[in-house]
Amino acid sequence: MAEKRDYYEVLGVSKGASKQEIKKSYRKLAKEYHPDRNKASDAEEKFREIQEAYEILSDDQKRQAYDQYGFAGTQGFGGSGLGGFGDIGDLGDLLGSGGGLGGLLGEMFGGSFGGFSSNEMSGRGRSGSDIQINLKLSFNEAVFGVEKKIKYQRYKQCDICDGTGAEGKKTKQCETCSGRGQVVQVQRTMLGAMQVASVCPTCHGAGQVAENKCRECSGEGRMKKEDDFNVKIPAGIPDGITLRFTNRGNSGIKNGQTGDLYISIEVEPHPELERRGDDIYTDRHINVSTAVLGGEIEVPTVHGKVKMKVPEGTQSEKILRLKEKGGPRFRGSGNGDQYVRLIVDIPTKLSSKQKRLWEELNDVSE
């Protein structure tokens, strides 16, 4: 088995990197090595390595333990690893094909890519750009899943001219490129003359132009409109994940290919609970008498408040588990667990009576 690499080295950040720097590097690398996009034989392995590094370094407590004890330190509080989202490459299978979900990426793509596409070279027109929007979810919405109606602005094909940009859909051959959709220029280099083909600037690769421009869209073949559709967010979706929906971006010019829509998920924090994969973590303060004698305390969970027994002689920082009181598993059935760290509060001020009782107790213990 290959030796594990330092988590900071995996993400390409320094040990003093901020959370924002760590998150930015993680998203960039996750996008680069996501198996849906990177077909290299080691892409999946690197993608998991990147996820594991981020899972540790994005958490203050785990990061502190790792900085102090290395890999051994990450096994302490709740364990190391990826929890319930170690393999998220097939979210489309979970949501079904009806939602139009094309895949998962750790980062959105912004705008269209450089150069020109095969559609433009084949005479279909210029491709539309991608759109990226952020979607905020409450803590419980991310845990249990939710259906959201998304509203956003995008370019859509003109209904009057069906995207041709021509009044009455009447077109003629482009004189600039003679209907080829491309223009060829001769460039001189050190090796001699070179012919370079590029998309025709007049017809944008369509090979046809309008006899008269459509009055509705001014000849562009598309118009900016408000669009909306319902998105089903699966239970247990992690913070920072980006969902891709094909053909939901901007329509192309002159019937060019439509871009995609990327929805980046941002999960709002909970005042008392923290989610790590399918498991939930929380801290509860108890007094000295409960720690010594044992007792019962009330603990908040995503399923409501529950009673939990505290055993006699409980030490501060002890962690107890509430089985299946975590969130629904992102992949698979059932729920994760909830881990409760008990913090014993030592009184700082005592009344004379309390002090006398503690002194008596001290005499008895001796």
Percentages of the chain per state (helix, strand, coil), in multiples of 5: 25, 30, 45
Distant-in-sequence, close-in-space partners of 13: CB < 8 Å, separation ≥ 6: 21, 22, 25, 57
* 68 has binding-site annotation: no
Tokens of 273: 């609970």
Q: What does 249-304 look like in DSSP terms, one character per residue?
A: SPPPBTSPPP--EEEEEEEPPPSS-EEETTEEEEEEEEEHHHHHH-EEEEE--TT-
DSSP 228-247: EEEEEEPTTPPTT-EEEETT
Q: Supply 193's token pair.
A: 């003359």
Annotated ligand binding at 17? The verdict is no
Tokens of 40: 């290299």
Beta strands (DSSP E) in the chain are: 101-105, 131-137, 146-157, 171-173, 182-189, 192-199, 208-210, 222-233, 242-245, 261-267, 274-276, 279-287, 295-299, 306-310, 318-322, 338-345
Q: Are 51 and 82 in contact (CB under 8 A)?
A: yes
Q: 204: annotated binding-site residue?
A: no
Residue 121, annotated as binding a ligand: no
81 labelled ligand-binding: no
CB-based contact 245:103 (threshold 8 Å): no
Closest CA to 55 of 95, 32, 22: 22
Find out whether 210 is annotated in a ligand binding site.
no
The rounded distance, in Å, linking the Cα atoms of 251 and 257 is 7
- Residue 174, annotated as binding a ligand: yes
Distance CA 266, CA 135 (A): 6
Q: Is 200 annotated as a binding residue?
A: yes
**Which residues sit in the known binding site for Zn(2+)?**
158, 161, 174, 177, 200, 203, 214, 217
Binding site members:
158, 161, 174, 177, 200, 203, 214, 217
